[in-house]
Chain A
Amino acid sequence: MKFTIQDPCQIVRKGFGDEIADDLRFVIKSVVGEENVIEMTPNKSNNYCCGGGGGFLQSGFTEERRAYGKKKFDQIIETGADYCITGCHNCHAQVHDIGHHFGGTYQTVHIWTLICLSLGILGPNERTYLGDDLKDVDVFHPESSLY
């Protein structure tokens, strides 16, 4: 199972730079295993925006927003990753939407989900964004499932 990383423009390029992108990678590699991370190119501070930022998601220019996001979609597909990890809410919404729209099969997941999964403390109702491959893995208190 492979994972790729969407660097949020705000926290990386516009915020703390490659240093925080490396911190993010330290956490992700600790969680999913270094050998399972496939990077997009370019990435970190030189990353392409996914198209979810700047209000684009609410702007009403849906077709243009998806055309913008096609570049990101192609990048993700090229990695062959099963999961794209997003560290920003706008990225999550946009990467999820373009995956769906362009027929990708990858899942879009928050980093907090994977951290808790790796610690064995992810309950059955906290798995909205996991795919079938991870939905039933190491479920914490399965008896509390609402579904």
Chain B
Amino acid sequence: MAESSIKIKGKKESFFMDKVKEILPEGGNLNLCLTCGACASGCPATGLADMDPRKFLRMCAMGMDEEVTTTPWVWMCTMCQRCIYVCPMKIDIPQLVFNARGTWPRDQRPKGIRDSCDMALRNPSNSAMGTAPDDFVFVVEDVLAEYQEAQPEFADMVAPIDKEGAHFFLNQNSREPVTEPDEMVPLWKILHLAGVDWTYGSKGWAAENYCLFLADNQCWEHVTRVSAKQADDLGCKVFLNTE
């Protein structure tokens, strides 16, 4: 413990933590830590990259800006918020993590997440796999027709795309239409039997949003607006995200 304990070199200002405090309601309670350790003891990311949530927060509070904005641990915390849930002071560590991600130069953030975000920006599908709207429409219509024929009890089943005024706007993880289209069908059947009025959108149909995980606020907002606009333009009442 003694060896790994943190040496404070005198009072230092934390520009990073102060900046995050400014944008969070109640400053994310970031000043209220009792150092009880409840967060760290129940965090599955504790110990990865020699870090844990309490340590990360303490380092932020001590102004160790360089360390907290370069540790790869921010990509290993899933921002699951369990630490907030168990924290007696409800301290928003995941927002610190998210904002620390955002301090990384974009081209140094994890390539897999960045590529998935960039794919989503290629066309209005929002798909992390880059699937174009036409391809999605084709797969859905093709699979639907196949099942209507093979399972005549579901001859009337629908999988609408851009149905005006549908109650639910349902989005869809790209993995199904792209790699396992049959997995879309059980959900369609349930919606059909329950008499649900729903639709996919030809735009903004993909449920995943890797720009959010990338902490690329501008692109995240873009992707979200594409989806929301499609639901609004169709006059849907409820946006159903399956992620």
A residues with a Cβ closer than 8 A to B are 9-10, 13-14, 45-49, 51-56, 58-61, 64-65, 67-72, 88-90, 93, 110, 112-113, 115-116, 119, 121-123, 125-126, 128, 140-141, 144
17 A-B residue pairings within 8 Å (CB atoms): A49-B82, A52-B78, A53-B80, A55-B110, A55-B210, A56-B78, A58-B213, A67-B48, A69-B44, A72-B44, A89-B207, A89-B242, A119-B193, A121-B154, A121-B193, A128-B180, A141-B151
Within 8 A of A (CB), among B170-229: 173, 175, 180, 182-183, 185-187, 189-190, 193, 207-208, 210, 213-214
Q: How far is the CA of A89 from the CA of B243 in the complex (A)?
A: 6
By the criterion CB–CB under 8 Å, are A55 and B44 in contact? no
Q: With A46-B86, A68-B48, A144-B150 in contact, do A123 and B185 touch (Cβ < 8 Å)?
A: yes
Given contacts A9-B80, A55-B75, contact A89 B173 (CB under 8 A): yes
A49 touches B80 (CB 8 A): yes
CA distance A45 to B190 in the complex (A): 27
Chain A CB within 8 A of B158 CB: no
B97 to A: closest C-beta gap in Å? 8
Distance (Å) between the CB of A114 and the closest chain B CB? 9
Number of A-B contacts (CB under 8 A): 129
Q: Within the assembled complex, what's the spacing in Å between the Cα atoms of A28 and B186?
A: 15
A74 to B86, CA, bound (A): 21
Contact B49 A64 (CB under 8 A): yes
On chain A, the residues within 8 Å of B81 by CB distance are 9, 13-14
Would you give the shortest CB distance from B40 to chain A, in whole angstroms? 13
Q: Does any Cβ of A come within 8 Å of B121's Cβ?
A: no
Which of A9, A61, A119, A144 meets B72, CB within 8 Å?
A61
**CB neighbours of B115 from chain A (8 A):** 58
| Residue from A9, A68, A71, A112 in contact with B190 in the complex, judged by beta carbons closer than 8 Å | A112
* CB-CB under 8 A for A126 and B213, given A48-B42, A48-B82, A55-B113: no
Q: How far is the CA of A118 from the CA of B43 in the complex (A)?
A: 36
Write out the residue numbers on chain B whose beta carbons fall within 8 Å of the beta carbon of A55.
Answer: 75, 110, 112-113, 116, 210, 213-214
The reply to whether A144 and B110 contact each other, CB–CB distance below 8 Å, is: no
Q: Please indicate the chain A residues that have their CB under 8 angstroms from the CB of B243 in the complex.
A: 10, 88-90
Chain A residues with CB under 8 Å of B187's CB are 112
What residues of chain A lie closer than 8 Å to B234, measured between beta carbons?
Answer: none
Q: Does B19 contact A (CB under 8 A)?
A: no
Residue of B nearest to A52 (CB): B78
Given contacts A64-B49, A90-B243, A58 and B78 within 8 Å (CB-CB): no
The reply to whether A113 and B113 contact each other, CB–CB distance below 8 Å, is no
User: Which residues from chain B contact A52 at a C-beta distance below 8 Å?
Assistant: 78
Please, which residues of chain B bring their CB within 8 A of the CB of A67? 47-48
A49 to B147, CA, bound (A): 36
B111 within 8 A of A: yes
Whether the pair A122, B186 counts as a contact (CB closer than 8 A) is yes
Taken together as a complex, chains A and B put the C-alpha atoms of A55 and B193 apart, in Å, by 34
